[in-house]
Amino acid sequence: MQEIKKQLSQAIKNLYNLDFDPEITVSPENIDADYSTNTPLKLAKELHKSPMEIAKELSAELGRDNGDERRSEQSPSISQPGFLNFTIANEQLTSAIDNLSDNFDNYISSDEYKGKTIICEFSDPNPFKILHVGHLYTSIVGDSISRLYEYAGAKVIRANFGGDVGLHVAKTMYALMKKDIDDLRIEDISKCYIEGTAAYDNNESAKQEITKLNKEIYHINSENLHDTPLAQLYWKGRELSYEYFNNFYAQIGVHFDKYYPESTVAALGLQTVKEQLEKGVYELSNGAVIFPGDKFGLHTRVFINKEGVPTYEAKDVGLIFTKWQDYHFDKSVIITGGEQLEYMKVVLKSIEQYSPELVARTTHLTHGLVKLPGGVKMSSRKGNFLKAVDVLNLVDEALKTEYDSTDPIVSLAATKYAFLKYKMGGNIIFDPNESVKMTGNSGPYLLYACVRAKKILASVDVKKCNCDNGHENITLVDAERNLIKKILGYKPVLKEAVDELAPHKVAAYLYELAQEFSRFYEHCPVAGSEQESERVKLTQVYLKVMTHGLNILGINIPEEM
Q: Indicate whether 46 and 141 sit together in one domain.
A: no
Q: Indicate whether 53 and 160 sit together in one domain.
A: no
Average pLDDT over residues 421-447: 95
195 is a domain residue = yes
96 is a domain residue = no
What CATH number corresponds to the domain at position 437?
1.10.730.10
Q: 534 vs 101, 489, 526, CA distance in Å? A: 11, 19, 9
Residue 115 zone, left/alpha/beta (φ > 0; ψ -120 to 50; rest): left
Q: Indicate whether 232 and 292 sit together in one domain.
A: yes
* Secondary structure class of 178 (helix, strand, coil): coil
Q: Which is higher by pLDDT, 182 or 277?
A: 277
Please tell me the least confidently modeled range out of 108-117, 190-199, 286-295: 190-199
In contact, 486 and 513? CB cutoff 8 Å: yes
383 is a domain residue = no
CB atoms within 10 A of CB 455: 11
Please tell me the least confidently modeled range out of 88-92, 108-112, 129-133, 391-395: 88-92
pLDDT for the residue 373? 84
Q: Indicate whether 6 and 130 sit together in one domain.
A: no
For the cut 70, the answer to whether the pLDDT of residue 98 exceeds it is yes
Q: Indicate whether 354 and 251 sit together in one domain.
A: yes
For the cut 90, the answer to whether the pLDDT of residue 49 exceeds it is yes
pLDDT for the residue 65? 53
Q: Indicate whether 49 and 159 sit together in one domain.
A: no
Position 216, amino acid: E
What CATH number corresponds to the domain at position 73?
3.30.1360.70
In contact, 371 and 428? CB cutoff 8 Å: yes
For the cut 50, the answer to whether the pLDDT of residue 69 exceeds it is no
For the cut 80, the answer to whether the pLDDT of residue 302 exceeds it is yes
For the cut 70, the answer to whether the pLDDT of residue 203 exceeds it is yes
| pLDDT > 70: percent of the chain | 94
Q: What is the pLDDT of residues 470-516, one digit of tens each?
A: 555 678 999 999 999 999 999 999 999 999 999 999 999 999 999 99
Average pLDDT over residues 379-401: 80
Q: Indicate whether 68 and 132 sit together in one domain.
A: no
Q: Please state, in angstroms and rounded to a whole number, the distance separating the CA atoms of residues 94 and 476.
A: 9
Q: What is the pLDDT of residues 445-479, one digit of tens each?
A: 999 999 999 999 999 887 666 544 455 567 899 99
Q: Indicate whether 367 and 440 sit together in one domain.
A: no
231 is a domain residue = yes
pTM: 0.90
Q: Indicate whether 354 and 472 sit together in one domain.
A: no
In contact, 486 and 512? CB cutoff 8 Å: yes
Number of domains within the chain: 3
Domain range holding 150? Answer: 122-371
Q: 282 vs 272, 276, 301, 324, CA distance in Å? A: 10, 6, 10, 22
pLDDT for the residue 75? 74
437 is a domain residue = yes
What CATH number corresponds to the domain at position 336?
3.40.50.620
Q: What is the pLDDT of residues 111-150, one digit of tens each?
A: 999 999 999 999 999 999 999 999 999 999 999 999 999 9
Q: Please state, in angstroms and rounded to a whole number, the distance separating the CA atoms of residues 327 and 358.
A: 12
For the cut 50, the answer to whether the pLDDT of residue 20 exceeds it is yes
Q: Indicate whether 360 and 416 sit together in one domain.
A: no
